[in-house]
A and B are shown apart, each in its own frame.
Chain A
Amino acid sequence: KQEVTQIPAALSVPEGENLVLNCSFTDSAIYNLQWFRQDPGKGLTSLLLIQSSQREQTSGRLNASLDKSSGRSTLYIAASQPGDSATYLCAVVTNFGNEKLTFGTGTRLTIIP
């Protein structure tokens, strides 16, 4: 059974710093991995999707990397801003043909102005 872990559960950093969020998964035979953002009282917004054949994806100040063999992904946020404060979740699709996303428990990020 696939398990997805995100450590730390919470992180606070001063504005302007670069930061890395971590995600690990137990079954390396994944189809894809996604990073989501969730603001309080809201649904999830997809940030980046990495297919199993890819090593990284970039969108603006965000860069996500994937190391399938070690079961790890990182989300790098450059030049953090207070608006980046949210909970970040990673999720994997393990089986091709089954669209089930298995989510991590998330990292709650606070950017201190």
Chain B
Amino acid sequence: DAGVIQSPRHEVTEMGQEVTLRCKPISGHDYLFWYRQTMMRGLELLIYFNNNVPIDDSGMPEDRFSAKMPNASFSTLKIQPSEPRDSAVYFCATQDRPSGNTIYFGEGSWLTVV
């Protein structure tokens, strides 16, 4: 398997623009997580899904952030409108719960909002 695939790897956008980050999980994994990493706050869980259903979105900072998982092969994290303080690395991670608890991370989407 190619692992967790995220796109884009890097994005620079202007404040106020919509940003969509994409994630393709490892086939068969039933959990999908979106994390954000910044120097100030470290790694924070934004939201996670189990079998495509959102389970805990308490980490989503505000209404500007939304996440969807329309099927087992795809998830998106959308920021609209984007702000400079959203600049961070956004990681998608997936897990095959019945096979154990190892979690696999993608290489991240590096977002800069200017």
User: Footprint of B on A, CB under 8 Å?
Assistant: 32, 34, 41-46, 49, 51, 89, 91, 93, 98-106
Contacts and interface: CB of A to CB of B under 8 A. Distances in A.
Classify the secondary structure of A's interface with B.
Answer: strand
Most chain A CB inside 10 Å of its own CB: which residue of B43, B44, B106: B43
In this complex, the interface size class of chain B, counting residues with CB under 8 Å from chain A, is 20 to 34
Most chain B CB inside 10 Å of its own CB: which residue of A44, A51, A104: A44
Given A45-B105, A46-B104, A99 B42 contact: no
B42 A98 contact: no
B95 interface: yes
Interface of B: 4, 31, 33, 42-45, 48, 50, 55-56, 91, 93, 95, 97, 100-108
Top 7 closest pairs, chain A to chain B, by CB: A43-B105, A103-B43, A44-B105, A105-B42, A43-B107, A46-B102, A100-B45
A43 B101 contact: no
Contacts of A93: 101
